[in-house]
Chains A and B, each alone.
Chain A
Amino acid sequence: SYELTQPPSVSVSPGQTARITCSGNALPKQYAYWYQQKPGQAPFVVIYNDSERPSGIPERFSGSISGTTVTLTISGVQAEDEGDYYCHSTDSTGTYWVFGGGTKLTVL
């Protein structure tokens, strides 16, 4: 079955740039989405269509794609950005959803 691979954890100091990657063979063909989740809360989208930012999401959140890897970049990380981040996409047919394993972002 199709999988999306994320690093389990990323740690940065406040004000630095955090980069979280997500790799999958179908990513050049299917859009990727990124969600943030904090303990005890439902996730919410921070990036859609690889690099689009929903209204209300701070400009420090951005997304990009290179080959089979999409990257969520958080510039000037703030303490409030700490949480779990999940990438989401579909298989090459666009039928089956898949989530990455999640990356825990720690702000030191």
Chain B
Amino acid sequence: EVQLVQSGSEVKKPGESLKISCKISGYSFTNYWIAWVRQMPGKGLEWMGIIYPGESDIIYSPSFQGQVTISADNSISTAYLRWRSLKASDTAMYYCARRHESSGYYVDYWGQGTLVTVSS
């Protein structure tokens, strides 16, 4: 069974750093692209970027380039999303999502989401 299990909710202060994770199981981690998607409170889905763990290929949305860092650790089948210095506007739900790799490049599996709250 394919599963994307994300790390738990976080409450941080502005200026703090944070790294959230997405642990994959049920398939070969290095063979599928993993995307990160932001959903601010009451708002829509925003694509942040995507990583192909097999080749460490990473594409960032221009809107998020330089604001976050996407990475992966193939040895533990885990993808990460990192912030160096959080802002209140980073408060959101963050989803990791697997890209389907045949007959359409849609998201076929989602993580359960990680709620990040940034408040002083």
Contacts and interface: CB of A to CB of B under 8 A. Distances in A.
Interface residues of B, number: 23
The 6 closest A-B pairs by CB, nearest first: A97-B47, A42-B110, A33-B106, A102-B44, A48-B104, A99-B45
B35 interface: yes
Interface in B74-100: 95, 100
Interface string A34-60: 010100001111001100100000000
Interface of A is mostly: strand
Given A1-B62, A43-B110, A102-B45, A97 B104 contact: no
Given A43-B45, A44-B110, A101-B44, A31 B61 contact: no
A97 B44 contact: no
B92 to A, nearest CB: 14
B104 to A, nearest CB: 4
Interface size class of A (residues with CB under 8 A): 20 to 34
B113 A31 contact: no
Nearest to B103: A49
A1 B63 contact: yes
Given A49-B104, A52-B103, A97 B50 contact: yes
Nearest to A100: B44
Contacts of A49: 103-104, 106
A96 B62 contact: yes
A100 B46 CA distance: 9
B69 interface: no
A98 interface: yes
A33 B104 contact: yes
B44 A52 contact: no
Interface in A63-108: 84, 86, 88, 90, 95-102
A32 to B, nearest CB: 9
A51 to B, nearest CB: 11
Contacts of A97: 35, 47, 50, 61
